[in-house]
Amino acid sequence: MTYEQIIADLKNKVYYPVYFLHGEESYYIDRISDAIETQVLSDSEKEFNQSVLYGKDLDVPALLSVAKRYPMMSNYQVVLVKEAQDIRNLIPKSEAGKDKDPLVEYLNNPLKSTLLVFCYKYKKLDKRTRLSKALLKSGVLFESARLYDNKLPDWITRFVKSKAYSIRPDAAALLSEYLGNDLNKIANELDKLMLNLKPGEEISSAHIEEFIGISRDYNIFELHNALGKKNILKANLIVNYFTSNPKNNPLIVTIPQLFSFFMKILTYHNLTDRSQNAVASSLGVNPYFVSEYESAARLYPPQNVLRIISTIREYDTRAKGIDRGSTTEGSLLKELVFKILH
């Protein structure tokens, strides 16, 4: 089931006896768990029928003793297991069919009046296990996968739209680049930002700078833009800003971003279909940014791009300490940008 289906079912009071929420991205696990915690039982029912347990304090028998209880003055009891990945012997060492597994036995015939919710974070459940197969039969097995970086701007746009706001593509890209792919962090920052806006207002890079503190003029996208246009003055201004603010612009992050930018230019050179949507799909970017790659490709022919990519790889190695000597991060970045532009 998808996240949207699970949330819709909860709103419609369609419940399942077991929810096993697993995966590397905690955002959706937290949202589903919160929805179950707040929506299934009334405040008066929660006092006797809602239990919050923690995996590090549990083993399977202790968990099942709670799950097998019947609700008091309610149709359901809710058992929320936080940090379920820490439950002792959750997945037995032996998967041999002849060995009994108490949890699998329970899942084969779960108590319909119990909503047993596992929050199994930061890793995936092996789908080959008996536990996984039993979960598929008895309830909801939901994987919250980590988003690829190039999918983050679209996720941000959808998240903002769900709150009845909108966001400019450049602002969504800027936010995703600087906050990374931690969806909880992105959502929290956006929620705080939207408190300062009028209902339905469009979020711009100016808002990102004012309320989150990310510079709209001196950031990696503006550096890409300056390099793509061979604007030497602007590129050097941004590099100077980066070297003055190394904590917010570490070289080991900046270099891979430059590599990605020029790899996209190289990819553009190899495309046969250069329609806007085809280019956007091939490069993994919003169509809004396609024109930037078109203009950059005109200024950087393929052989030049190959040379630049080779140079970036060299400086990536040096940034990691190999053959670097006493050269500072700031000096390395200035050298690299000079070689890209000349």
Q: H-type helices in the chain, by residue range?
A: 3-11, 26-39, 43-49, 60-67, 102-108, 130-138, 152-162, 169-179, 183-194, 205-212, 220-228, 232-244, 251-269, 276-283, 290-299, 302-319, 329-341
Residue whose entry in the numeric block shows the structure tokens 């495309």: 271
Give long-range contacts, CB 8 A cutoff, 24+ apart: 308-311. 308/262, 308/339, 308/340, 309/259, 309/262, 309/263, 309/266, 311/336, 311/339, 311/340
Distance CA 308, CA 301 (A): 11
| Residues sharing a CB contact under 8 Å with residue 255, sequence separation 6 or more, in sequence order | 312, 315, 316, 319, 336
How does pLDDT run along the chain (342 residues), one tens digit per residue? 899 999 999 999 999 999 999 999 999 999 999 999 999 999 999 999 999 999 999 999 999 999 999 999 999 999 999 999 999 888 766 555 556 889 999 999 999 999 999 999 999 998 888 899 999 988 999 999 998 888 899 999 999 999 999 999 999 988 988 888 889 999 999 999 999 999 999 999 999 999 998 888 999 999 999 999 999 999 999 999 999 988 888 999 999 999 999 999 999 999 999 999 999 999 988 888 999 999 999 999 999 999 999 999 999 999 998 888 888 999 999 999 999 999
pLDDT for 70-94, tens place per residue? 999 999 999 999 999 999 888 766 5
pTM, two decimal places: 0.77
Residue whose entry in the numeric block shows the structure tokens 């419609």: 12
**Residue among 262, 244, 334, 245 nearest 300 (CA):** 262
CATH topology of domain 220-341: Zinc Finger, Delta Prime; domain 3 (1.20.272)
| Residues sharing a CB contact under 8 Å with residue 132, sequence separation 6 or more, in sequence order | 125, 126, 141
Mean pLDDT of the chain: 93
Distance CA 242, CA 72 (A): 61
CATH topology of domain 3-143: Rossmann fold (3.40.50)
Distance CA 244, CA 330 (A): 8
Beta bridge partners of 143: 22
